[in-house]
Structure 1
Amino acid sequence: MCICKSISDTQIREAVDQGARTIGDISARFGVGVECGKCLDDIRQLLDACVVAPPSPVTSHCSTAPVEVTPPRATEPAPQRAAWFAVDL
């Protein structure tokens, strides 16, 4: 799930089993999303799948079925703008 922090989907599922419910919970626990942020959409999908499922007394309420990962969207580069601030080095 998060390449920057080497966090797997299994670790996120375990965190959900232990009470994590939001991206903020996962970020506070593992530090995901602070480097590049590319993992946040996939983690949000996994959280949605895990948290929505009702808990079962026998098995974890978070399915171990693979989550469909959407490919990154092609983005256009941001237009060049003049800086509105000055940096004093």
Structure 2
Amino acid sequence: MVQRLLKEGARVNQVDADHGTALIVACQNGHLAIVQALLRSGAQVDKVNAHGTNALIIAAREGHADIVRALHQALKQARATPSQANVEAPQSPSGE
């Protein structure tokens, strides 16, 4: 579903009333495959919500170590190639 929405032009960094993004919600709920799809589509890892919290902090707080690793890798890649608009999400061993 997420892939379809993104393909049809959904704005990956759209915020809700609390300035939360789809990435923040996916991190909170532990959806690694969705996090990876959003990162591949250019989701901004460092966006903060109205509470001053970003996706990485939320994933860590919720105990989603696999998502923390994916976000950390995405941040490292973004810092290594600051001219790139999109950050490639690492694939999980299962290919998700």
Q: How does the TM-score come out when normalised to structure 2?
A: 0.38
Q: How does the TM-score come out when normalised to structure 1?
A: 0.40
Q: Which has the higher helix share?
A: 2
Q: Which has the larger radius of gyration?
A: 1
